[in-house]
Amino acid sequence: MALKQQAGGTGQAPLLPFARMAQRALSCAHGKAHPMTQRPSASGMKLGIVLQTMESGLEGQPPTFQAIQELAQAAERAGLDSIWLPDHLLRSPRGEVFWEVFTLLGALAAVTTRITLGTLVVSTSFRSPALVAKIADTLDAISGGRLILGLGAGWYQPEYEAFGYPFDHLASRFEEALEIIAPLLREGQVDFQGQYYQVHNCVLRPRGPSRQGPPLMIAGRRPRMLQLAARYADAWNNAWHVDPTTMQASYAAFKQACAIVGRDPATIEVTLGTAVKLLSAGEQAEETKAIAGSPEAIAHRLASFAREGVTHVIVLLEPLTLESIAAFGHIVEAVRQHVSGDTPRAVTGSEQG
């Protein structure tokens, strides 16, 4: 049975679906630990960057696949933990369009070897939920188990209208999508009859290397979305913040959602979206929009998120070039030293790009 509250509702936490969903959530979500939560990085916090795929994404120019591939491989060489791609079809005010996320990730999986690949985040209403699970498991196989499947309900109405997707009841559609995606990935089969989606005798074969499919990261801020993340997610995404203090209220709300559904928040990784601007010579920092300053100052600010429970930081890096990625790699190493308690090595002028 689907709930009928709009995604942009009152903000009050509605009743979640009945016993069927609760039982499935218990078995498909927090009843089993996922490798994402079992294998934290040695530093205790991972760091990655977003690769822009919109028309003006690379210094105002449309990104070719070769350019995106070079950026991904540069991130891998620089020692970053992850790269992330958005799932948008159209964005204003310039009306820019994007490359399709899953196609790009499949290609990037074939030309990288170590770095984690993530979606930030897939709109489940752009594709049938069963197909999302099928694509994700195929990407898990291509990448050798390096995919994180970030999921969200969608929010930008013009792209829905332009591509012919329904924009109503986004949270309810998302809820039903999770009732299909989670059991398909974690158990390999599902039967579901909902208001928006129906699947019967749906199985997922062959399977990728991850025993329960790729980990699920769910983005959400409002009470209903937070409760869905608490039930189903291996990781929750909290964005966008440039100061650790600004994330505390939303994290407290997420912990409350975990308590409501009976989930220990310690079993869910916390990912955080932020922005970092590497300054050119003589440029002044404007910290209201991005973390900026000296490399040491940036590293110190990023490391401070670990003290708030963040396990994976996802960075919008400006500028996004081969040189800036190499420079950011040195900052990432300093962050790891901060988090581990070692004394960070000063970043030299030649390493700042």
Mean pLDDT to the nearest integer, 295-301: 97
Give the C-alpha separation, 79 to 71, whole Å: 13
Mean pLDDT of the chain: 88
**What percent of the chain is modeled with pLDDT above 90?**
76
Q: Which of 3-17, 27-41, 284-298, 333-347 has the lowest mean pLDDT?
A: 3-17
Mean pLDDT to the nearest integer, 291-317: 97
CA angle 168, 173, 174 (to 5 degrees): 125
Give the C-alpha separation, 261 to 308, whole Å: 22
Give the C-alpha separation, 145 to 213, whole Å: 8
Measured from the Cβ of residue 226, the count of other Cβ atoms closer than 10 Å reads: 24
Per residue in 206-215, pLDDT (tens digit) is 999 999 999 9
- Name the more confident of 27 and 276: 276
Distances 349 to 115, 216, 278, 294 between C-alpha atoms, Å = 27, 39, 13, 10
Query: Do β-strands 189-193 and 198-203 pair in parallel, antiparallel, or remain unpaired?
Result: antiparallel
Report residue 351's pLDDT band, with 50, 70 and 90 as the boundaries: low
Question: Which token pair is 161?
Answer: 């209208």
Of the candidates 153, 212, 205, which has an alpha carbon nearest to the alpha carbon of residue 183?
212
Measured from the Cβ of residue 26, the count of other Cβ atoms closer than 10 Å reads: 15
Q: Is the pLDDT of residue 329 over 80?
A: yes
Q: Which of 25-29, 82-86, 245-249, 274-278 has the lowest mean pLDDT?
A: 25-29
Distances 189 to 23, 128, 135 between C-alpha atoms, Å = 16, 15, 15
Of the candidates 251, 244, 275, which has an alpha carbon nearest to the alpha carbon of residue 339?
244
Report residue 289's pLDDT band, with 50, 70 and 90 as the boundaries: confident
- Name the more confident of 56 and 67: 67
Query: Do β-strands 116-119 and 147-152 pair in parallel, antiparallel, or remain unpaired?
Result: parallel
CB distance 290 to 276 below 8 Å: yes
Running DSSP on this structure, what letter comes out for residue 351?
A: G
At residue 37, the pLDDT reads 33
Per residue in 77-102, pLDDT (tens digit) is 999 999 999 999 998 667 789 999 99
Measured N-to-C along each axis, helices 129-143 and 170-187 cross at an angle, to the nearest 10 degrees, of 50
Give the C-alpha separation, 173 to 181, whole Å: 12
Query: Do β-strands 235-238 and 90-91 pair in parallel, antiparallel, or remain unpaired?
Result: unpaired
Q: Is the pLDDT of residue 7 over 60?
A: no
CA dihedral 243, 52, 131, 185 (to 10 degrees): -40
Of the candidates 246, 254, 200, which has an alpha carbon nearest to the alpha carbon of residue 223?
254
Report residue 285's pLDDT band, with 50, 70 and 90 as the boundaries: confident
Report residue 34's pLDDT band, with 50, 70 and 90 as the boundaries: low
Mean pLDDT to the nearest integer, 31-55: 69
Distances 59 to 62, 89, 219, 313, 321 between C-alpha atoms, Å = 9, 20, 28, 23, 8
Mean pLDDT to the nearest integer, 329-345: 88
DSSP code string of 208-250:
-SSTT-SPEEEE--SHHHHHHHHHH-SEEEE---SSGGGGHHH
Q: Which of 13-17, 134-138, 188-192, 202-206 has the lowest mean pLDDT?
A: 13-17
Q: Is the pLDDT of residue 320 over 90?
A: yes
Per residue in 256-279, pLDDT (tens digit) is 999 999 999 999 999 999 999 999
Per residue in 304-313, pLDDT (tens digit) is 999 999 999 9
Give the C-alpha separation, 102 to 147, whole Å: 11
Phi first, then psi, for residue 226 (nearest 5°) are -65, -40
Phi first, then psi, for residue 83 (nearest 5°) are -130, 150
Q: Is the pLDDT of residue 40 over 60?
A: no
Q: Is the pLDDT of residue 149 over 60?
A: yes
Q: Which of 51-65, 252-266, 304-318 has the lowest mean pLDDT?
A: 51-65
Report residue 28's pLDDT band, with 50, 70 and 90 as the boundaries: low
Tokens 């690949």 -> residue: 117
Give the C-alpha separation, 237 to 173, whole Å: 19
Ordered by where they begin, the domains of the chain are 19-352 (3.20.20.30)
Report residue 33's pLDDT band, with 50, 70 and 90 as the boundaries: very low
At residue 348, the pLDDT reads 53
